[in-house]
Structure 1
Amino acid sequence: MDSTDLAFFAAVAHGGSITRAAARLGTVPSNVTQRIQRLEQQLGVPLFYRHGRGMTLSHAGERLLPYASTVAHTLAEAGKAMQAGAEPSGPLLVGAMETTAALRLPDMLVRYAMDFPEVDLILRTGTSQQMRDAVLARSLDAALVAASVIDLAAQPELLAELVGVEELVLVTAPWVSLFGPASIWSSLQDTKLIVFRDGCSYRALLESVMRRRGTARLRMMELGSLDAILGCVRAGIGVSLLPRALVEPLLVDAGLASLAMHVLPDGAGRVETLCVRRRDGFVSAALAAFLQRVRQQFDHSVLVTPALPLTESPLA
C-alpha cells in the first residue's frame, strides 16, 4: 500500500465524498477516484458504499481507517521533526480551562511571547473534556485540564503531568452568607447553578456536591464566559464553583458587598490540574519551552491560598 493512497482514502472517509476530498487535498476528483480504485484493487475488497448522497465506509473501510489515520499522523509528525529547529519557532496550539487561562496563564504567556517571538502561539479555551478531546484528536499540542476527565487506563495515548492543585469554593451573592453555615444548604435547594457548558469539571463537581447535600432538582444556567458567570452570581441569580485564588482578589478589591465565598467541607473543593499531551506527539522546541514555563508557573505546588476568615464562611 502507498501512503498517499491511504491519505486519499482517509480524506474521502472524513469528507464523505470524492468532491470534498479533492478540495481538501488540493487535487481533481478524477485523481481521488483513481487512487481509491487502485487501493481497493490491491486489497481485494470494497472500501466504500457508493450512493446518491456520497460515500460511506464499508466494514472493510472502517477497519482500515484507524491504520490510515495512524500512517498520516506519523508522516505529519516526521515532517515536523525534520523541519524543527533548535530554537523555539513555528506554530504552537495549546488549550486550557477558562478559569486556568484567566488565573494562571496571562503573565506566563506574555513572558513566553517576549522570549520566543518566532513562535506563533494560539491559546484555545473550553471545558476540560473539550481540551482533552482536542489533544486526542491532535488539534492541540498540549492542554491544561482537570484530572477528573483523564483516565490513563482508558486513554493510553495521553501523557499527563500534575502541575498543581486548585481549591474550589462556592461563590454566592453576599447576602447568602447571612443565612449562616448551618442553614446555607437548605437556602440553596432551589437556586440556579451558574456554570460553563456540559463537560466542565467544575460544573460536574458542583452538581455532585449539591446532590450529596440533598438537592432534589438541579437548575442550570449555562454561560460561555467567566465574566458572565460572576455577573450573574453578583446579581443573586444563582451560585457557582470557582477557584479560590480567582475569587479572593475580587473580595479584597471589590469589598464584601460584591461576592461571598464558602469553603467546601472535607476537602471536597481540592482538584488537580494536569498538563496533557499525546504520547506519540513530536515535542518541538516551542512545545518543550512551553511545558517548561508551565512547570515553573505552577511549580508543582498546591495552589491553595491562606484562609481569610473575615471574607469567607465554611460550609458544614
Structure 2
Amino acid sequence: MDLKYLNTFRTIVAEGGFSRAAEKLNYTQSTITFQIGQLERELSVTLFEKIGRKMVLTKAGEQLLPYVDEVLSSVEKLRCFEQELVQCQGDLRVGVAETQLCYRMPPVLKEFHAQAPRAHLFLRSMNCYDIRDELMSGTLDLGIFYEDVGGFGSNLVTDPLSSDPLALVASPRVKARHPDYITPDQRIPVPLIINEPRCIFRQIFEQYLRDKAIRLDHTIELWSIPTIKNLVENDVGISFLPRFAVEEELEAGSLAEIPTSLSGRTITAVCAYHKNKWVSPLMRLFLNLCAGG
C-alpha cells in the first residue's frame, strides 16, 4: 500500500473535498481521483460517496480514518527518530494570536532559536479561530491562542499559559469627555478602534455594548495592535484590549483605563496541539519554553 495514497485520503478529509486536496498537495484532480481509486481497490471498499454536490466519507471511510492517522503519525515518528537522537531540528509550524506574539512570545522565540539553531520555525500571526481550525486539520503543529474560541471539544490538547484581564482604554482627554460606559441605553460619540470582527476581545466588548444598549459612533478596524494603541493615544477613539498589551502606556499615563461592568473578565491563553499529533522533540522544546520550563 502506497503511503501517499493514505496521505491523499487524509488530506481530502481535512480539506473537505477532492479539489481542495488537489490544491493543497499540488496534484491534479485526476491524480487525486486515481489515488483514491487505487486505495479503494486495494481495500475492496468504497471510501467516498457523492451526496448532492459533495463527496462524503462512507461508513468504511469513517472506520479507516483512525487507522490512517495512526499510520501517518508512526511515519512522522520514524522520520524524526534520527533528530531525536541528535538534537532538535526540522520544521515547526506555529500559529500565534497577535497580542501574544507582540507582547508575550519574544523571550520564548529568542530562547527557542538559541536552543534549536538548526530548526526551521514557520511562525504566523493569526486569528484565534483560524488557529483552532488549522490545528484541527493538521496544518499547524502548535497554536498559541485564546481558548475562548471553544469548539474543539477533546480534539485538542491545551496547556494553559495565562489568564489575563481586559481593559477599556482611552487617552486621558477622551476619558475626561466620555467616562461613563456603564449606564445603559446611551449613545457615546466616539469610535471603537479594534481588530477584525472575529477578534475575541472585540466580540466580548461588542456583546457588552449590545447588552447595555450602548451605541458608539462607528468602528475603525485595524490589524495592528501597536497602530490601534497609537490612534487611541492620539485621541482618535477607544479600544478594548488585554491589559498586558497596554500596561506600559497605562503606567506612563498616555492611556487611561475606563471602568465597565466587565471588570474581572479575563481571557485565557493556551498552547495547543491536536491530540493525535506526535509530540516531537522540537514541539516538546517549544511547549516547555512556553510553560516557562
TM-score tier by shorter-chain length is 0.7 to 0.9
Q: For residue 219 of structure 1, report the CA deviation from its aligned partner.
A: 3.8
User: CA deviation digits over 1:152-195, x for unaligned, max 9?
Assistant: xx521111222211121112133122147557767863433222
Aligned equivalents of 1:137, 1:74: Cα separation in 2: 15
- Is 1:74 paired with 2:70? yes
Q: What is the number of residues matched between the two proteins?
A: 286
Question: Is the radius of gyration larger for structure 1 or structure 2?
Answer: 1
1:140 alignment counterpart: 140
Question: In the alignment, is the contact (CA less than 8 A) between 1:191 and 1:219 conserved in 2?
Answer: yes
1:290 alignment counterpart: 286
Q: How does 1:184-199 map to 2 (within 5 A)?
A: 189-199=188-198
**Closer, same or farther: CA 76–183 of 1 in aligned 2, 3 Å:** closer
Q: For residue 202 of structure 1, report the CA deviation from its aligned partner.
A: 1.0
Instruction: Supply the AA of the counterpart residue of 2:193.
Output: I
Aligned equivalents of 1:122, 1:30: Cα separation in 2: 29
Q: How does 1:181-220 map to 2 (within 5 A)?
A: 181-182=179-180, 189-216=188-215, 219-220=218-219
**Closer, same or farther: CA 290–228 of 1 in aligned 2, 3 Å:** same
2:129 alignment counterpart: 129
- Structure 2 residue matching 1:296: 3-state secondary structure: coil
Structure 2 residue aligned with 1:16, among 8, 15, 18? Answer: 18
1:173 alignment counterpart: 171
Q: How does 1:40-59 map to 2 (within 5 A)?
A: 43=44, 47=48, 56-57=54-55
User: CA deviation digits over 1:119-160, x for unaligned, max 9?
Assistant: 211222222212111211112222222231135xx5211112
Q: For residue 292 of structure 1, report the CA deviation from its aligned partner.
A: 0.8
What's the TM-score, normalizing by structure 1?
A: 0.74
Aligned equivalents of 1:175, 1:23: Cα separation in 2: 51
Question: In the alignment, is the contact (CA less than 8 A) between 1:164 and 1:273 conserved in 2?
Answer: yes
**Closer, same or farther: CA 45–128 of 1 in aligned 2, 3 Å:** closer
Moved over 6 A (4+): 25-28
RMSD: 3.8
* Structure 2 runs not aligned, ≥5 long: none
Identity of aligned residues (%): 22
Aligned equivalents of 1:131, 1:46: Cα separation in 2: 29
* Structure 1 runs not aligned, ≥5 long: 50-54, 298-316
2:103 alignment counterpart: 103
